[in-house]
Structure 1
Amino acid sequence: MSLLIRGPVLSQADVLINDLGGDAETMLAAHGIDPSAIEDINRYIRYQDAGAVLGHAARELDAPDFGLRLGGKQGLETLGPLGVIMRNSETVGAAVERLCHFLRAMVPSDTAALTQSTGTSAFSYSVLLSNDFDRRQMLERAFGLAMRAYRVLIGPTFVPNRVTFEHQRYAPLATYHEVFGCQVDFRQERNAIHLSPVDLARVIDGRDYSALVLAEDYLKRLVPEPAFADHVREVTRRLLMVGGASLPQVARELSLHERTLERHLRAHGTTFEAILDDLRRAAAWELAATGMQASQIARAIGYSEQSSFSRACRRWFGESPRELLRRRRGQRPEEAPDARHHDP
C-alpha cells in the first residue's frame, strides 16, 4: 500500500537542494514528484517518494544532515491544520498532546507520543519507512521542524533538556548541537526531545479559539488507512535492536494472536519471515561498515548460530560474511547494497 502525504512535507527542499549545488527539479522528478506540489497543501505525494528525495539529496550532495537542515527551514504552516491546532492551543503541552492525537489523520505512517513524569517530559516520534537511511532523514527532518515549532510556541531561546535518537550519528556532532543546543545521544531506546514540565505548562499567547475548533473538526473527519505491514515492520525493527524479534514477541507487542498477525500480513502481500529477513539484511549491510566482527553482527541481528548468518549473507549478498566485511571496509554505512544482492 502506498501512503500519501501532503506536498509541503518537502517544503523548501528545492531551495536547500539548489543551495547545496544540486538540481532540485531533476532530483524531485527522479522520484516522480512534481516540484509545484511541495508548496501546495492541497497536493499529495507518496510518503516513500518524499523519504527517497531526502535520502538521495543527503547522499548525492554529501549532506548527511540534509533532513535536519530541511526541518529547520520549515515552519508550522508545513503542518497545515496540525500547525493551526498547535498555534491556537491553550498551552504548549496541550499543543503537543493534540499533535500526537491528530498526527495519524495527516501522516498515517508516523506516530508521536508525549510521556510525562516527575521533573521531565519526553516527546517521542517514529517514522515508518522501509529504507533505513531515508527513514532517518525523515525523522531528523521532523525533529528539526519540531524545534522550529517549540521556539515559536515557547520562545526563540528554547533549549530542550536532552535529545535522543535510536540511530547512529552520521553528521558531525556540532551540527546537532547547533540545532538543539543541548546534549544529543545516539543509539538510544527512542527518538525523543526531552523537555521541562515548565516549558509544557507555558501559556500560548494570541490564540484563536475558533481557528482551533475549525481545524480540529476538519481532522476529526479524516479517517487514515492503517499501514499494518509498516507498523509490524517498525515494531519488529525496534525489538530486533534490543535482541529479540520473534513472531511471538511481535504478536505480543501488538496484542494479537500469532495466527491473526500472520493472516493480516498475508492480506497485505507479505509475511513476518519476509519482514524480519529484510530488516536483518539491512542491519547486516550497515553494521558491516562499522568494523564489527561477523560473530558480533550475527548476534546483533538475532542469529544464535554463526552458520545461519553465513547462509543468510550468501543469500543476501552472494558472498561470505568475511568477504562482505572486507568489501564494506571504508564505505559509508548508508550506501545502498549493490547488484550482488540475491533475492531469496
Structure 2
Amino acid sequence: MTILIRGLALLNVAEVVSSLGGDPDTLLRTHGVDPAAAGDYDTFLPYSSVAAVIGDAAQVLHCPDFGMRLARRQGIQMLGPIAVIIRNAETVAAAIEGVSQYLHHLAPSDSTALIREPDAAIFTYSTNVRRLTHREQMVEKGLGIAMDAFRLMLGESFVPLRVTLQHQRVSPMEAYREMFRCPVEFQREVNSVHLPPNSLNQPIRGRDSAALALAEHYLVRVRPDLAVPDHVREMTQRLLAVNQADLVTVARAMSVHPRVLQRRLAESGMSFEEILDDVRREMAWDLSATGMQVSQIATMLGYSETSSYTRACRRWYGETPRQLRARRHTAPPTPGPAPSQGQTG
C-alpha cells in the first residue's frame, strides 16, 4: 500500500529551493511530483516522494538543515484546517490533543502525543512510514512546525526545556540552536519537545470558539485514510516508547475493545502479535545502528529479558544482537531492514 500525505507538506518548497540556488521544478519532477501539487491541500502525494524531495534538496544544495528551514517558511500554515484548532483551542493542552486527534487527515502515517510527567509535559512526534529514506529531514521539519505552533500559543520568547531526536545529528549545532533555542539531544528514544508542565493550562489568546467548532465539524466528517493494521502499527510503535505496547493498552488508546480490535485485524489477515513483532524487528534494525547497548535495545523493544530479544533477533536476521549491532554500526546508511528469513518484503 502506498502511504500518502497531502501536498501541503511541500508548501513553499519552491521558494526555499530557489533561495538556495536550486531549480524547484526539476527537483520536484525528478521525484515524480507535479510542481502544481506542491502546497495543494486537496492533492495527496506518496510520502516517500515528499521525503525524497526534501532529502534530495538537503544533499544537492549542501543544506543539511533544509527540513528545519522549510519548517520556518511553512509555519503552521502547512497544517491546513488543523492550524485552526491550534489558533482557537481553549488551552495549549487542548490544542495538542486536537492535533493528535486530527493529524491523520493531513498525514495518515504521522502521529503526535502528549505525555504528562511531574516535571515536564512531553510532546512527541513520529512518522511511521516503514523503510523511509531521509526520515531525519521529515522529523526535523515536523518538530520545526511544532515549534512554530508553541510560539504562536505561548509567545515568541517561548523556549522548551529540551528537545530530543531519535536520529544522529545531521545539521550544524547552530541550526538546532536557532530553531529550538534549548539543549538538543540525539539518538534518544523519541522525537520530543519538553515543555514546562504549567504551559499546558495556558489559555490561547484571541481564540474564536465558532471557528474552532467549524474546523472540528469539518475534520470529523473527513474519513481517515489509515487502515486498521496501519493504525495499530502506529499506536504500537508510539506505546513501545513507554513500554506499554500490549493488546489491551493499544485497544484502549484506539477506544475499542481488545476482542473487537482482534477481529478487525483478523479481517485484514493480520494479528496484533504479528504487528508487534514486525514493529520490534524494524526498531531493532534502526536502534542497532546507533551503537546502543544490547540490553538497552531489549528494554526499548519491550522485552523483560535480553535472552528474549536474542531469540527474536536470530529469528529476524539470523544473527545475535551483538552481531547485528556490529554490522549496522559500521555499515553505510540504508533505507530499511533486510527481510527476515522467509519474508518477501
- Tell whether the structures are fold-level matches, with TM greater than 0.5: yes
Partner of 1:141: 141
Match of 1:336, as an amino acid? P
Deviation sequence 1:51-82 (CA, Å, 0-9, x none): 45445555666655443332222123212222
Q: What's the counterpart of residue 253 of structure 1?
A: 250
Closer/same/farther in 2, CA of residues 47 and 268 from structure 1, 3 Å limit = farther
Q: Which moved more, 1:110-119 or 1:24-33?
A: 110-119
Find the counterpart in structure 2 of residue 127 from structure 1: 127
Output the amino acid matched with 2:130: S
- In the alignment, the residues of structure 1 paired with residue 82 and residue 215 of structure 2 have an alpha-carbon distance, to the nearest angstrom, of 7
Question: CA deviation digits over 1:126-178, x for unaligned, max 9?
Answer: 4332236655543332210121223234332221233334x143335443232
Q: Counterpart of 2:69 in structure 1: which amino acid?
A: R
State the one-letter code of the partner of 2:127.
Answer: V
1:43 and 2:43 are equivalent in the alignment? yes
SS of the equivalent of 2:308 reads coil
Q: Could you tell me whether the CA contact under 8 Å between 1:160 and 1:196 is conserved in 2? A: no
For 1:309, the equivalent position in structure 2 comes to: 313
SS of equivalent residue, structure 1 residue 75: helix
Report if the CA contact (8 A) 2:116-2:197 is conserved: no
SS of the counterpart of 1:158?
coil
Residue by residue over 1:13-53, the C-alpha shift from the partner in whole angstroms, topping out at 9 and shown as x without a partner, is 34444556765444433543222112222322234543454
User: For residue 184 of structure 1, what is the aligned residue in structure 2?
Assistant: 184
Q: Deviations over 1:214-266 (max 9, x none)?
A: 33332233232443222222344346556786xxx245432477775554334
Amino acid at match of 1:253: V
**8 Å contact from structure 2 (residues 96, 114) kept in 1:** yes
Gaps of 5+ in 1: none
> Structure 2: which amino acid aligns with 1:79?
L
**Compared CA separation, residues 310 and 96, structure 1 to 2 (3 A):** closer
Moved more, 78-87 or 116-125: 116-125
In structure 2, do the counterparts of structure 1 residues 56 and 202 end up closer, same or farther at CA, with 3 Å as the change threshold?
Answer: same
CA distance, structure 2, for counterparts of residue 86 and residue 271 of structure 1: 36
2:159 counterpart of 1:159: yes
The equivalent of 1:28 in structure 2 is 28
Q: Is the 8 A contact 1:163 1:194 kept in 2?
A: no
CA distance in 2, matches of 1:111, 1:305: 27
Give the whole-Å Cα distance in 1 for the aligned partners of 2:42 and 2:237. 33
Q: Relative to 1, partners in 2 of residues 1:288 and 1:119: Cα closer, same or farther, differing over 3 Å?
A: closer
| Deviation of the 1:310 alpha carbon | 3.7
Using the alignment, how far apart are the partners of 1:230 and 1:23 within structure 2? 35
Question: Could you tell me how far apart the structure 2 residues matched to 1:97 and 1:308 are?
Answer: 35
Q: CA deviation at 1:201?
A: 2.0
> CA-to-partner distance for each residue in 1:285-340, whole Å, 9 max, x for gaps?
434444457787678655527465345324xxxx88787666545445x4325989
Specify the code of the residue in structure 2 equivalent to 1:313.
Y
Structure 1 Cα separation of the partners of residues 113 and 336 of structure 2: 33
The answer to whether the 8 Å contact 2:229/2:265 transfers is yes
Question: Displacement, 1:196?
Answer: 5.2
In the alignment, is the contact (CA less than 8 A) between 1:9 and 1:78 conserved in 2?
yes
Unmatched 5+ stretches in structure 2: none
Does structure 2 conserve the Cα–Cα contact (< 8 Å) formed by 1:112 and 1:125?
yes
Distance 1:320 1:122 in 2: 34
Q: Specify the code of the residue in structure 2 equivalent to 1:29.
A: R
Give the 3-state SS of the residue equivalent to 1:41 in structure 2: coil
- The 8 Å contact of residues 52 and 134 in structure 2, kept in 1 or not, is answered as yes
Aligned to 2:334: 335
Q: How many residues align?
A: 334
Question: Aligned partner of 2:192: which letter?
Answer: N
- The CA distance in 1 between the partners of 2:60 and 2:325, in whole Å, is 24
User: CA–CA distance in 1 between the matches of 2:49 and 2:6?
Assistant: 12
| Aligned residue number for residue 103 of structure 2 | 103
DSSP-derived class of the 1:5 partner: strand
2:263 and 2:326 map into 1 onto residues whose CA distance is: 40
- TM-score, with structure 1 as normaliser: 0.73
- The answer to whether the Cα contact below 8 Å between 1:164 and 1:184 also exists between their aligned partners in 2 is yes
The farther-off stretch of 141-150 and 290-299 is: 290-299
Distance between the aligned counterparts of 2:78 and 2:7, measured in 1?
9
Q: 2 CA distance for matches of 1:85 and 1:311?
A: 45
Deviation at 1:92, TM superposition (A): 4.6
Deviation of 1:181 after TM superposition, in Å, equals 0.9
| Conservation of the 8 A alpha-carbon contact between 1:128 and 1:231 | no
Q: Which amino acid aligns with 1:175?
A: A
Q: CA deviation at 1:198?
A: 4.8
Say whether the 8 Å CA contact 1:162–1:195 is kept in structure 2: no
2:223 aligns to what? Answer: 223
Aligned partners of 2:6 and 2:44 also within 8 Å: yes
Cα distance in 1 between the residues matched to 2:309 and 2:94: 49
- Checking the alignment, whether the CA contact within 8 Å between 1:129 and 1:230 is kept in structure 2 is no
Letter in 1 for 2:175: T
Query: What is the alpha-carbon root mean square deviation over aligned residues?
Result: 4.2
Specify whether residues 214 and 69 from structure 1 end up closer, same or farther in structure 2 by C-alpha distance, changes over 3 A only.
same
Checking the alignment, whether the CA contact within 8 Å between 1:51 and 1:134 is kept in structure 2 is yes
